[in-house]
Amino acid sequence: MAKKEPYILAIDLGTSGCKTALISISGQVAGWEYQEIPLLIPSPGAAEQRPEDWWQALLSTSKKLIGKNLVPVEDIIAVCCSTQGEVTVPVDQQGNALMNAMGSMDMRGAESLKQLTEGRINIEGYHPLKLIRWINLTGGAPSLRGGDPSAHMLYIRDNFPEIYSKTYKFLNVLDYLNLLLTGRFVTTPDLIMTSWVTDNRDASHVVYHPGLVRGSGIEADKFPEIIACDAVVGELKPEVASILGLKAGVKVVAGSIDVTAAAIGSGAVKDFETHLYIGTSSWLAAHVPFKKTDITTNMASLPCAITGKYLLIATQTTAGGTLNYLRDNILYHKDELLMEEQVPDVFQIMDRIAGRVPAGSNGVMFAPWIYGERAPVDDRFVRAALFNLSLENSREDIIRAVMEGVAFNTRWLLAPVEKFLGRKLSVLNYVGGGAKSNIWCQILADVLNLTIRQVRDPIQANARGAAFIAAVGLGYLKYEDIPGMIEYNASYAPNSQNRDIYDKMFDVFVKFYKQNKALYKRLNG
């Protein structure tokens, strides 16, 4: 039985699945459950999920976890969610989803978005005056890839007019879960941001901007009410509490997008402290006291869970997802070569294999752009590549090369992040599923030439962040208390013996993109 203190039922619902944890207000993880959620690719450029799958995964994992009696039910005082972002689901006035949700990798709205971003004069796909206005008011602009809600909503309007006319609100994942938990149609500043209709110049007071809403092509009443991430949405619906086995009166705190939650759960709460997250996707993020945009590298500091602060968010499309791809589509794809064999715990085996391959993977290199890239280049045409293979290489080299490729991609992002922050970094707090791998920690330390601090329970960083947000919202904590509550498994310093080989290979990595980007556009345009 966990120690006696209030606990939060913290939901971390990402692209690949739902992790539900019981976490104390001091950040101690009593236990957790996980359930995969399928990603649907019905056509090229599409990436969908069923909202009902989100909800059933939340219910199933929560019931299992609460049923373990790890903490007294009366000690569970709140529910708070952290979710994937840049997802769009239209719902009717009763809260019913009207179609599958369009995810952040769904690029079908790119064509519809042109009516929003273009004009008589265009530079890199944007009318200059429109771009300046967006950046001034919001800190960013709609991604020309079509992967955020601004494009999703227009795609639905243009291609599914009957659904659009029935839509009461366009919601993100977090908004949808909070609706089913409480009955309220609300969103948070960090989630609504990528609809590009809010005035973010005052991080303590994010509001809809009438001009941006008018220009969005979407009616104003289809956007939900904005509340703070640490605001109490309401009490858990009695029928939901009964299903989960919770007592009446449990509060639901709004929560946040996964990047915002991980920033808090990683312990990198003070200004300019930076964390690295590697899950299906990856990012570098740091809280800063200013709003700023760098359009050349597709990075900006944007509203976050801490009212009055901004979060630098530099996101890359696919990281740990490349290992999933290697497992599911190459090593253990169920065809005649595998038949009905049971797939082992592949990632632990991969760690052992990668650990016995020398730095540099015997010359094999991997570029992890398996579904396009977002930063430091915004390129929806680029794709993954495995190159410099020879007859002397084995799949052991390939496994390590995939890990090193993600590290090279992260290093590509590091220099513009440091420039944005105006300072060199010496340490990163590392969280996400990738942080469970000791060998990957060392590879990152060597490639980035930084100390990597492996946060304890790294896979629960998002859920821990949600728990901390709830604890702040309910008055148990202040955000400045959080760094002192974070524990680390280990700290990894760079191995200077690997400096030369990784510097050389990183130079090749960047040149590979620059020399092939035109070919990728020709192939995938």
Count other C-beta atoms under 10 Å from residue 259's C-beta.
26
Give the 3-state secondary structure of residue 179: helix
On the question of pLDDT at 198 being above 50, the answer is yes
CA angle 141, 523, 361 (to 5 degrees): 90
CA 334 to CA 341: how far, in whole Å?
9
pLDDT tens digits along 16-50:
899 999 999 999 999 999 999 999 999 989 999 99
Structure tokens at 281: 């996707």
**Average pLDDT in the 207-227 region?**
98
pLDDT tens digits along 60-114:
999 999 999 999 999 999 999 999 999 999 999 999 999 999 998 899 999 999 9
CA 264 to CA 27: how far, in whole Å?
11
Cβ distance 169 to 219 under 8 Å?
Answer: no
pLDDT tens digits along 292-338:
999 888 889 999 999 999 999 888 888 888 888 888 877 776 654 45
**Average pLDDT in the 254-270 region?**
96
Give the single-character DSSP code of 340: T
CA 441 to CA 65: how far, in whole Å?
30
Q: Give the CATH fold of the 321-457+488-524 domain.
A: Nucleotidyltransferase; domain 5 (3.30.420)
Question: Which parts of 46-205 fold into alpha helices (H)?
Answer: 51-67, 110-117, 128-137, 149-159, 161-166, 173-182, 189-192
Q: Which residue has the tokens 């042109």?
A: 114
Residue 105 confidence (pLDDT) = 86
Cβ distance 54 to 87 under 8 Å?
Answer: no
Q: Confidence band (pLDDT; 50, 70, 90) for 124?
A: confident
Residue 318 confidence (pLDDT) = 84
Cβ distance 280 to 319 under 8 Å?
Answer: yes
Residue 337 confidence (pLDDT) = 45
Distances (CA, A) of 154 to 95, 108, 111, 449: 20, 10, 9, 43
pLDDT tens digits along 393-433:
999 999 999 999 999 999 999 999 999 999 999 999 999 99
Residue 1 confidence (pLDDT) = 57
Count other C-beta atoms under 10 Å from residue 340's C-beta.
5
Q: What residues does each domain of the chain span?
A: 321-457+488-524
Average pLDDT of the chain?
94
Least confidently predicted of 39-43, 128-132, 375-379, 444-448: 375-379
CA 338 to CA 263: how far, in whole Å?
40
**Average pLDDT in the 332-353 region?**
69
Residue 347 confidence (pLDDT) = 85
**Average pLDDT in the 383-387 region?**
96
Residue 343 confidence (pLDDT) = 58
Least confidently predicted of 207-211, 296-300, 465-469, 485-489: 296-300
Residues in CB range of 211: below 8 A, 6 or more apart: 133
Share of the chain above pLDDT 70, in %: 97
